Amino acid sequence: MNLNIALVPGDGIGPEVLDQNVLVLNKIGEKFGHSFKYTEVDAGGIAIDKWGEPLPKKTIDICKASDSVFLAAVGGWKWDTLPGDMRPERALLGLRGELGLYANLRPATLHKSLADACPLKPELVKDGVDIMVVRELTGGMYFGEKGRKQTDMGEAAWDTEMYSVEEVKRIARSAFDIAMKRKKKLTNVDKQNVLESSRLWRSVVLEVAKEYPEVELDHLYVDNASMQLIMRPSTFDVIVTSNIFGDILSDEASQMTGSIGMLPSASLGKGSLGMYEPVHGSAPDIAGKDIANPIATILSGAMMLKYSFGLAEEANAIENSVTKVLDEGYRTADIMSEGMKKVGTKEMGRLIIDRI
């Protein structure tokens, strides 16, 4: 395949971890006969410095014209005092909106060799953890009508949770499609015992389920889901839920994996164009020191191959190589433990590439 990828290195450790991802993708291209063409664009703090705004139009146009977008991280102390609209993080919301990305995929995978880093008791995770949280990204309370007014009890504020049938249908289909590529198990999380929006949400999920008879579907209320994630994490496969519930549950699930430096993510829309990014931020405290963990970024690259380009074998090659390197005891500082071999960002990248 010949693929055009827009690269957004951003700020802080962004460029360092992205470099390693590009080297890994180049190795995949070489080995499997694909050609990846990269176009680097500015967004975040660097774009504010160079162009006076966090998300220049040129960046949006190039991203829209690409087969996929890879974003490393944006933000940093230098821009922390700027007003909301001028903050580097606006670039993230702006790009997601411009690209029409409504499904956020947040895998939480506990590698066996990192089991010690998991805060849960070993017996709870002895069968491993491999969860994919599919979060609706553009609707619900974060985008609904909101406001303030005076009441008998003083000033009050409200945010509206609202979902349309079409919004739920498309996120449900995304989640069922992903479940079909995994263990064919989907847990729908809502709060239909209390919320009208959840009652509509669940009825639509049940309707869409008829298109996927092979997928085993169950339902949990969000409060129960947060408990079950801790009590029986190994039993989950794919979870689908709303924007606000997904925001919270994906962070809860991610804590089982050891370090924020291990967490990839993807945001998908209608077509194959997606945006792939590590969950972590720009980590200004460790930028430029060659100590950042590049694995979250490299695993986001594997997600891009799988979900945007349908290259499952190539994605598996990256994931298996990461597992091998961890099994052999190599660790960056954030996941270091006694008896392991400490390596820097570049060395971790090289070790992964060597094993592909």
Closest residue by Cα to residue 225 from 208, 212, 238: 238
The reply to whether 190 belongs to the active site is no
Q: How far is the CB of 345 from ligand NAD (least distance, A)?
A: 8
DSSP string covering 209-274: HTT-TTSEEEEEEHHHHHHHHHH-GGG--EEEE-HHHHHHHHHHHHGGGS-GGG-EEEEE-SSS-E
The reply to whether 19 belongs to the active site is no
User: Smaller CB distance to ligand NAD: residue 76 or 264?
Assistant: 76
User: Of these, 145, 285, 338, 339, which contacts ligand NAD (CB under 6 A)?
Assistant: 285
Of 223, 327, 341, 354, which residue is the catalytic one?
A: 223
User: Smaller CB distance to ligand NAD: residue 195 or 248?
Assistant: 248
Tokens representing 181 are 């590529």
Q: How far is the CB of 34 from ligand NAD (least distance, A)?
A: 26
Of 177, 237, 251, 290, which residue is the catalytic one?
A: 251
User: Of these, 109, 188, 282, 321, which contacts ligand NAD (CB under 6 A)?
Assistant: 282
Backbone φ and ψ for 278, nearest 5 degrees, come out as -65, 155
42 contributes a contact to ligand NAD by CB under 6 A: no
User: Smaller CB distance to ligand NAD: residue 17 or 117?
Assistant: 17
User: Smaller CB distance to ligand NAD: residue 104 or 282?
Assistant: 282
User: Smaller CB distance to ligand NAD: residue 76 or 139?
Assistant: 76
User: Of these, 120, 124, 260, 336, which contacts ligand NAD (CB under 6 A)?
Assistant: 260
User: Of these, 46, 133, 179, 283, which contacts ligand NAD (CB under 6 A)?
Assistant: 283
Sole window of 71-79, 127-135, 146-154, 201-209 interacting with ligand NAD (rule: CB under 6 A):
71-79
Query: What kind and span of H or E run contains 180?
Result: helix 165-181
261 contributes a contact to ligand NAD by CB under 6 A: yes
User: Smaller CB distance to ligand NAD: residue 172 or 286?
Assistant: 286
Give the per-residue contact string, 75-104, with ligand NAD (x = CB under 6 A; - = no). Answer: xx------------x--x------------
Closest residue by Cα to residue 165 from 130, 200, 196, 135: 200
Closest residue by Cα to residue 6 from 34, 42, 55: 42
User: Of these, 73, 178, 186, 299, which contacts ligand NAD (CB under 6 A)?
Assistant: 73
Let me know if 183 is exposed, middle or buried by CB neighbors in 10 A (0-12, 13-18, 19+).
Answer: middle
How many residues touch ligand NAD (CB under 6 A)?
22
Alpha carbon 94 to its chain's center: 16
Q: How far is it between the farthest Cα atoms of the chain?
A: 69
Contacts of 287 (CB under 8 A, 6+ apart): 11, 12, 13, 16, 76
The reply to whether 251 belongs to the active site is yes
The reply to whether 191 belongs to the active site is yes
CA distance 24 to 20: 6
Of 11, 42, 67, 247, which residue is the catalytic one?
A: 247
Closest residue by Cα to residue 277 from 267, 268, 269: 267
CA distance 287 to 282: 8
Q: How far is the CB of 180 from ligand NAD (least distance, A)?
A: 28
Of 64, 78, 142, 185, which residue is the catalytic one?
A: 142
CA distances from residue 329 to 296, 297, 311, 332, 342 in whole angstroms, order as listed = 17, 20, 28, 10, 8
Let me know if 228 is exposed, middle or buried by CB neighbors in 10 A (0-12, 13-18, 19+).
Answer: middle
The site for ligand NAD (CB under 6 A) is made up of: 13, 17, 73-76, 89, 92, 260-261, 277, 280-286, 292-293, 296, 334
* Residues acting as catalytic residues: 142, 191, 223, 247, 251
